[in-house]
Amino acid sequence: MPVKRLKEALDKHKMKYVVVSHSLAYTAQEIAATAHVPGKELAKTVMVRVDGKIQMAVLPASRQIDFSKLKKALQAKKADLATEEEFRGLCPDCELGAMPPFGSLYGLPVMVDQSLGEDEDIYFNAGTHRELVKMAFEDFINIEKPDMVDFSKP
């Protein structure tokens, strides 16, 4: 796995996980289809800017961010997508757009949409556009300790 930091963190916490290889895919829906993973179990990491601060927003591939809900839930004045230029160097060991939902590895806050917890397991990018990690959602929450927020829509 190219993202050594992620593997080391999971191993350090003695987490059970599986690495799933798939053909090259870039969008969350393409990845879900290529890897034969339900879109609601594939956690996509979207970089957002909340009141000027970059954060990771993690939600099912089958859903979209509702920025009005996000602003209200975080009591923020402004929330929108971060530009690639704003987050390009923040996860240097990852391919752009393939960041795992572990902001703690990169000094970034993480918020997870509550709907992601509807399934026992989640899949997420492992830092490349060719690999996913599958692990128990509960284990992910226990390691990362993200803010649980209701911010998505179908």
Whole-model pTM: value is 0.94
For 4-153, CATH number out of 3.40.47.10, 3.90.960.10, 3.30.470.10, 3.40.50.261 equals: 3.90.960.10
Q: How confident is the model at residue 113 (pLDDT cuts 50, 70, 90)?
A: very high
Question: Percent of the chain beyond pLDDT 70?
Answer: 99
When the pLDDT of each residue in the chain is averaged and rounded to a whole number, the result is: 94
The mean pLDDT value for 136-143 works out to 97
Please tell me what DSSP assigns to residue 118: G
Q: Which residues contact 127 (CB under 8 A, 6 or more apart)?
A: 1, 2, 3, 6, 91, 93, 94, 95, 98, 99, 100
Residue 2 has pLDDT above 80, yes or no: no
Domain boundaries, the chain: 4-153
User: Could you give the CA distance from residue 24 to residue 48 in angstroms, rounded to a whole number?
Assistant: 24
Nearest to 154 by CA among 35, 45, 69: 69
One-letter amino acid for residue 62 of the chain: S
Q: How confident is the model at residue 41 (pLDDT cuts 50, 70, 90)?
A: very high
> In sequence order, which ranges of 13-149 are alpha helices (DSSP H)?
28-35, 67-74, 84-87, 137-144
